[in-house]
Amino acid sequence: MEKKGKLIIIEAGDGSGKATQTKALYEHLCREGYRVHRVEFPDYAADSSMLVRMYLRGDFGGHAEDVNAYAASTFFAVDRYASYRMKWKKAYEAGAIILADRYTTSNMVHQAVKLTDREERESFLDWLWDFEFNKLGLPVPDKVVFLDMDPEVADQLIAARAAAQAQERDIHERDKEYLHRCHAAYEELAKKYGWTRVACSEHGEPRAIEAIHADVYAAIMSLLEGME
């Protein structure tokens, strides 16, 4: 079947405002009259995310590196596969815009940083691309927008959110050094794969939500030509 829809990914490290910007973009596109389906990964409410939830709360070890990149990636990939087949495949094939808060792109970053050897990391990225997009048949994104938040600012926002919601951080969020390595990987992979970067902080402070949204919307406008 000829692909008719568009898959747009809002991607960033923890504490960068992904949920806020995904919601703002979804509402903007709906107001403009586009057919939009919004998804979020991991799909925490679904049974398919069980292994992801076990991993993130530390059931397999209290540090991200306790689970190798290939095993952890498989947990997240299976969750995405179930979501695609059960929740948005039909809408995507019928021509809708699929707007995702995280996607395979998160696996690329959060698992690749576990591999310090350059050749091992490149081999992993090649494997992941083949596994998710070829073997599992998940759609390749049409646009990835990388929300670039200074990791020091992001850490403050994560702490404030956890305190406000009386919520314990997951094994990724608890490891500040890991999050800093992820940010460096985001910058590297954004260049490698041609992701669109949107600055979310300046001078050690987060930018206004509205200003970030304006940049995000501008980044996807060319993709919307000819869509309804």
pLDDT in tens, 26-65: 999 999 999 999 999 999 999 999 999 999 999 999 988 9
Q: How many residues are present in the chain?
A: 228
DSSP state of 36: E
Residues 6+ apart with CB under 8 A from 85: none
pTM: 0.91
Tell me which DSSP letter residue 11 carries. Answer: E
124 and 111 Cβ atoms separated by less than 8 Å: yes
The confidence score (pLDDT) of residue 228 equals 62
Q: What is the pLDDT of residue 1?
A: 46
- AA identity, residue 121: R
What the chain holds in terms of domains, given with CATH numbers, is 6-224 (3.40.50.300)
| pLDDT computed for residue 146 by the predictor | 98
Q: Are 1 and 137 in contact (CB under 8 A)?
A: no
Report residues of the chain scoring pLDDT below 50.
1
At 71-95, the pLDDT tens digits run 999 999 999 999 999 999 999 999 9
Output helix, strand, coil percentages for the chain, rounded to the nearest 5. Answer: 55, 15, 30
| 134: three-class secondary structure by DSSP | helix
Contacts of 17 (CB under 8 A, 6+ apart): 147, 149, 157, 200, 206, 209, 212
Q: How far is CA 185 from CA 30, 56, 97, in A?
A: 33, 20, 27
Q: Distances from the Cα of 212 to the Cαs of 197, 202, 216, in angstroms? A: 11, 11, 6
DSSP letter at 138 equals: P
